[in-house]
Structure 1
Amino acid sequence: MLCGCVGLVWLYEGDVEVAVYLIWLALVFDFLDGFVARLLRVHSPMGKELDSLADLITFGVLPSFILYKMLQQQEVDAWVPYLAFLVAVFSAIRLAKFNIDENQQTVFIGLPTPANAIFISSLIFVDGSYPSLLSYPVLLIITILFSYLLVSPMELFALKFKDFGWKGNEVRFSFILFSALSLLFFLHLALPMIVMMYILLSFFVKIISTT
């Protein structure tokens, strides 16, 4: 939550990259708090609610402001950048659904807010390297599409290992290998590709499992 708040300050000061790095730092903390909780076998309803509140600020509101800034730089009507806050609204709905849904233990229903935050925050590096790829229509499509994905009924696999054997974890290990190789060769630019692969791989896994 602190990373999200400080990130908003840096974004207000005009340093988008620092805001992005704070989102990524928060992702590390988000992983570690769950890991430590499972390791110590401790959990509470308050911790669950607090985790979602922190996620909303850091992985919902802050990415929305980043999109808002990017849309502001386009030649669009003054009201258009405000559409970016659909991401914050649908992130809140996504997190509220997660808190009351008992069916999201081994899968996620809808795109998790951290994955959405990774995709949106990494766009500033795409914009810096290939600005022609992120025109106003593309940014608008991303805003609407990823807002929908947050609350969609689509099932996405969770990176939760019951054991570290290959059997039963083929998809997870393949995804981790793809992610590692992508980061090695493309660095920051790999992040949106990794999130898209996560979505597509989950889609195909679901199709295969139902046929």
Structure 2
Amino acid sequence: MERSCELLLLALLVAAMAASLPLALAYDPSPLQDFCVADAASDVFVNGLVCKDPARVSAGDFAFSGLHAAGDTANALGSRVTLVDARAVPGLNSLGVSMARLDLAPGGLNPPHTHPRAAEVLTVVEGQMHAGFVAADGTLFARVLSAGDAFVFPRGLVHFEFNFGDRPAVGIAGLGSQNPGLIRVADSLFGATPALTDDVLAKAFRIDAATVQRMKAQFATKK
């Protein structure tokens, strides 16, 4: 009985302190050194990438060349994303940021996808794009962007970019993670390995099994 009373008093004390003190939450811990350049040669698996010995770090670990070059959009989607993350620039490791160049041919699409670990801000530098995202309640937020316009995609929400114009469009994106991740909605569902069952996909999309099989065949050819 005495032990129970002590635990109850402790719980009440913690609750009182929580009610009177501000609560601080953080997504990623702050870096504890100037930099943590990724060591690609390490086979140690951690949440992120192992740091290289600072004595072996050079300016090249923080640099990337190539964003001036147009990505190859000669594919079924008419789009190409050039990602600059911690694998491309080892110096981004632990800093919580990355970037990408998006090229869209006329009629090109960066299909509906999510970045599970990053919010994104897209700036159009050439042409026009129809860009948008879908909120958790199903609301679509979208607009046409011209050169100099920017648009924000909240972390984890499905979003897309489409070039409805007659000339190429280019955008530069900043992402709030060194490894934002990429989940393309259609590819993930119809191209999963092992495959999702036809029954699951048919019921989810309210289509028949024959249509599911045709969809799976489309994505199987892209692997």
Same fold (TM over 0.5): no
TM-score range, shorter chain: under 0.3
TM-score, length basis structure 2: 0.21
Instruction: Report the structure, 1 or 2, having the larger strand content.
Output: 2
Higher relative contact order (CA 8 A, sep 6+): 1
Instruction: Report the structure, 1 or 2, having the larger helix content.
Output: 1
